[in-house]
Amino acid sequence: NAQQKEKQTPEQTDFVSLYKADEPKKSKKPEPSAFVSLYGKDEPPPPKAQEVPPHSATIMANVKEIERKAYDKGYKEGNDKGYKEGNAKGYKEGNDKGYKEAHDKGYKEGSDKGYKEGQDKGYKEGYDKGLIQGEIEGKNSAQAKTEENIERLAGIVNAIENMWTNLIAANEKQLIDLICRIAEKVVHGRVIVDHDTVKRSILYALTQIPEPIDVTINVNPEDYEYIEAVKNLFFEQVKKMKHVAVIADPSVSKGGARIEAKGGQVESTIESKLEAVKDSIIKAKSFNF
């Protein structure tokens, strides 16, 4: 119809026109009178072989070439368009998938790393703070216990002084023994929590030696490390002293010391101090035990 003819491409129009132009025309059948038979009768001549139009091979070749070109063109256009669309779709899908996987992986790694760093930092800060607080509380507790023991001892001594006359009259010997036992427990308790006790004992003993130049300090093995660490303080307190050696001696009670020097020897132990206290009490009251 007319619309289909309008939609025909130039190639299609050329093909039709070429085909029609080369189409062989039908010849009219001659009149019988025009033919003379060899036998003298009017008969049509034998049919001639159908002639092949001279341009048919060329036309067919052109048709195939046109078909091939149309196919190639359509194939290329379809392939290019399909490739672009597939490439764009594949790129987007791959990009989205890669982005999601990378995002999830990065998020997890970042979350794990951040958690660990935060945990480590919090642990360290908490540990450091707890350590400092523990040291402070420990020192304060030890100092409080020491002061409490000192106050307790002072209170006992004051009570004893106030009650001295009545107690002596009632039971003098037993009273003195009781005082010594109480004092011994208090002093021993103080030594357990306060290393300074032995240090002060040593400093006091050094002042009792005439020439504390070359000094040997015998202390209990439990006090050895502490005295060895603070022995340089003795040089500051005793200017004459030139050399000091610290020896761990199990025979010396904890908190006490035995000082040996060229000028003599001084025993500064808890037992000796308690014995001195006891002797002082006895002498003061003229007791003989």
Is there a domain that residue 153 lies in? no
Is there a domain that residue 215 lies in? yes
Is there a domain that residue 222 lies in? yes
Predicted confidence (pLDDT) per residue in 174-199, tens digit = 655 655 565 555 554 444 446 677 78
Planar angle of CA 225, 230, 232, nearest 5 degrees: 130
* Band (49; pLDDT cuts 50, 70, 90): low
Domain count across the chain: 1
**For position 262, what pLDDT does the model report?**
83
What value does the mean pLDDT of the chain take?
74
Is there a domain that residue 167 lies in? no
Is there a domain that residue 47 lies in? no
CB 287 within 8 A of CB 281: yes
Alpha-carbon torsion (187, 189, 191, 194), positive or negative: negative
Is there a domain that residue 11 lies in? no
Predicted confidence (pLDDT) per residue in 121-176, tens digit = 888 888 888 889 888 888 888 888 888 889 888 888 787 777 766 655 565 566 55
CB 180 within 8 A of CB 274: yes
Predicted confidence (pLDDT) per residue in 13-22, tens digit = 454 454 454 4
Span 24-35, average pLDDT: 50
Span 227-236, average pLDDT: 88
| Six token digits for residue 114 | 């951040």
Question: Which CATH number do you get for residue 281?
Answer: 3.30.2320.30
**Rounded to an integer, what distance in angstroms lies between the CA atom of residue 266 and that of residue 210?**
11
Is there a domain that residue 28 lies in? no
Provide the domain limits for residue 270.
195-285
**For position 96, what pLDDT does the model report?**
92
First to last CA, the chain: 154
Is there a domain that residue 239 lies in? yes
Predicted confidence (pLDDT) per residue in 209-221, tens digit = 887 888 999 999 9
Instruction: List strands edge to edge, sheet with 243-248.
Output: 243-248, 214-219, 257-261, 264-268
Model pTM score: 0.33
